[in-house]
Chain A
Amino acid sequence: MWHDKLWEHWFWLGLAAASLLWYSTITVYVSIRGALDIRDMLRRLSREE
C-alpha cells in the first residue's frame, strides 16, 4: 500500500518535511529581522564616522 511506503522510512520523511518547514518559516522570519539588523548595523557604523 502507498501509505505503508510513506511511513516505512519515517525518519527520512520526517527530516525532509522538517527541512521544508524550516526553510519556509525561518526564511521569512530571518528575512524581516535580518533587514532590520542591516539597517541598525549601517546606522551604528555611520554614527562611528
Chain B
Amino acid sequence: MTDAGFILGSYVITFGSILIFAWRTIRSGKSLSDGMSDEEKPWL
C-alpha cells in the first residue's frame, strides 16, 4: 500500500476520535447518574 502512513493515520484519527468521544460521554453519564434516582432518568 502506497502512502500507508497517511492512510492508516486517517483511520486511526477517525476511530480514535470516535472512541475518545464515546468513552467520555459514557463516563460522564455514569458519574452524573450516580447521584440521581431512577425517577430522574426518563429514558429508563
Instruction: Decide if A and B are genuine partners.
Output: no
A contact residues vs B (CB 8 Å cutoff)? none
B contact residues vs A (CB 8 Å cutoff)? none
